[in-house]
Amino acid sequence: MERGFDKSMVTRNNVCALLLAIMLCNSSLFAQFAKLDWKVHNVGKVRQVITNMGTLNKALTKFPGLINSEFPPGSDEEHLYQGGFWVGAITPAGDTLVSMTQAHYTPNEFYPTGAPWDTVWVASKGDTLPIPYRQNYVGVSDQDFICRYSDYNVLNITDHAPLYLDVIQTSYAWGSPPVDEFLIFKYSIVPKKFPLKNVYIGFWMHSSVGSINAGDNFIDELTHYFPEYHMAVAEDDRYGNDGAAISPIGFRVMNPISPDLKWTFKYYEHEDLPGRDPIVYREMASGTIMLDRLDPSRAHIVFAFGPFQLNVNDTLKVDMAEVFGFGMKGMLKNAEYLDFLKAKGFKVPSAPPKPIFRVTTGNHEVRIDWRPQDGRTNPELYEDASRGDTIKKPFEGYRLYKSTKGLNGPWSLLAEYDIIDDLGYNTGLEYDYRDVGLLNNVEYYYTLTAYSQPDRVTNFPSQETSLSANARTVTPGTPPPKTVGDIAVVPNPYRGDIAYSSYNPPWERPQGSRPWWMEQDRRIQFINLPERCEIKIYTLAGDLVNTLRHNDPNRGFEDWNLTSSVGQAIASGIYLYSVEDLRNGDVQIGKFVILK
């Protein structure tokens, strides 16, 4: 007997209203029973949001990013609009049910509890974490995320009947080649209330491969299935309006692999997406392998396998890889490499721990020091039991990089220092660097890495700590003066016909993760400010436009984005300002010009 709940009898317009109603009605439930959290894998070439709802997009979390799945970093190239994990099964009562972390028209059905520890835990290789449901967890990769969610923590979700499953999800990311172009996901699925028959596991991919700067990057994808890898792939059509994306995206199942399993690969038109539980289950369990779709369209993919028989408290372990690469050829090479990684138990030589560095800013200069200090992590002393050679301490050297664009680079190598051992440059170690000739009050970005000797026994290359994981924003400049007197506005005049965002480093840059410049990114700067002061900006007629408050013992400047106190962009004209030193009441008055 097939019974289930209708997830499809809602129109597209009703879905948003339905979800909003659910969130509003259950806001107290979410607060009580679900501690929603997110993290982003960012140590390698993959930037992927992870939630403790089991999704590969933000779901109901507060993730502020514009891109769910970027490869490579800084490319603005999206790969997933939605993605997640499904479980379908038949209950002892004969109900045919499917629980979904994410689907296109269906409310989220997996949630964590409200316990303070039911969040996304983070570990590096060798770290030991006191996770209540994974006691003494030891980190495997350069960046492990661990979380738990269930399909019964929130019960009054419209058209949802739970299978009463607990899922522990662990994901791995590495920061150096050849293991930095994919992520590994490990799922432990446990029935908690009743046994389940004919269980099928599915992965949902609504890909969106292309630049987020193009409006139609979600409708020109090709879909592929590679049976030798058990991998579903979405690839951008190179002739679409959004250009040719750098990488496809693939979901590869690595475990369990058995000749007894039935595999399903299906794609759907937007209007034909399955909704009711029995229909979704039949799609997952159909064993249909559709031919590759080579006509560009939206990529709505269901990739599933089974069946499994699970008793209460049995654990079904599933390993999935999210695979990227430079072109289809690069992605398939990475998919093949995953077999070697699996054979190694996902344990490979790793980079040293990230070095700790200290920054001192000055007038047009930055000083960086990374001499190891007592009681702090020392990369030069790390040991790596995953190596095949006999080198006990494989540390080789340090590299210092700089960027003028952002915390994700692109990076320029400033200096490299390695130990004298007949490998590398044999420069000898240094622990400080002085970067001069910089612009004051402008952001620069620095990162320091440590790298290892190659493992010549396993033919594994030198490993380097993640550039972005150790990156810092640094702003050179003079300290605040004792009081007012030398305050100035730069640039003055401000000219709207100048592309300040194209400077290197840019004077104006988009805020947050947004890659494009907008009107609210305009910037003038009040410089030579005392530590505590109040800036008032007036029109020439004496009308107050905005008030800025400055309170910083280290930074003697304050930015203004040329908007009024109510968020309205100002017009061209001459403006007056007054700056009052709040410590002694001294005031300086001046003027500046805006030309748009």
Secondary structure of 428-462 in the HEC alphabet? Answer: CCCCEEEEECCCCCCCEEEEEEEEECCECCCCECC
> pLDDT truncated to tens, each residue of the chain (596 aa)?
444 544 544 343 444 444 434 443 443 444 446 899 999 999 999 999 999 999 999 999 999 988 999 999 989 999 999 999 999 999 999 999 999 999 988 889 999 999 999 999 999 998 999 999 999 999 999 999 999 999 999 988 988 999 999 999 999 999 999 999 999 999 999 999 999 999 999 999 999 899 888 765 567 899 999 999 999 999 999 877 667 789 999 999 999 999 999 999 999 998 889 889 999 999 999 999 999 999 998 889 999 999 999 999 999 999 999 999 999 999 999 999 999 999 989 989 999 999 999 999 999 999 999 999 987 789 999 999 999 998 999 999 999 999 999 988 999 999 999 999 878 788 899 999 999 999 999 999 999 999 999 999 988 999 999 998 899 999 999 999 999 999 999 999 999 999 999 899 999 988 877 788 888 899 999 999 999 999 999 999 999 999 999 999 989 999 999 999 999 999 999 999 999 999 999 999 999 999 98
- Strands across the sheet containing 524-527: 488-490, 524-527, 557-560
CA end-to-end span of the chain, whole Å? 70
Residues of the chain with CATH 2.60.40.10: 358-474
Q: What fold does the segment set 488-595 form as a domain? A: Immunoglobulin-like (2.60.40)
Closest to 398 in 3D by CA, of 376, 375, 360, 425: 425
The DSSP line for 310-376 is E-TT--EEEEEEEE--SHHHHHHHHHHHHHHHHHTTT----PPPPPP-EEEEETTEEEEE----TTS
Q: Scanning the structure block, which residue is given the tokens 């980079």?
A: 351
CA 558 – CA 366 distance, rounded (Å):
20
Residues of the chain with CATH 2.70.98: 12-343
CATH code of 358-474, in short, is 2.60.40.10
Residues of the chain with CATH 2.60.40.4070: 488-595
Helix (H) or strand (E) holding 578, with range, is strand 573-581
The pTM (predicted TM-score) of the whole model is 0.84
Q: What fold does the segment set 12-343 form as a domain? A: Beta-galactosidase; Chain A, domain 5 (2.70.98)
At 576, list the tokens: 């007056």
Q: Is 251 helix (H, G, I), strand (E, B) or coil?
A: strand
Residue 548, strand partner residues: 535
Query: Taking the mean position of all CA atoms in its chain, how far away is CA 562?
Result: 31
At 562, list the tokens: 């040329």
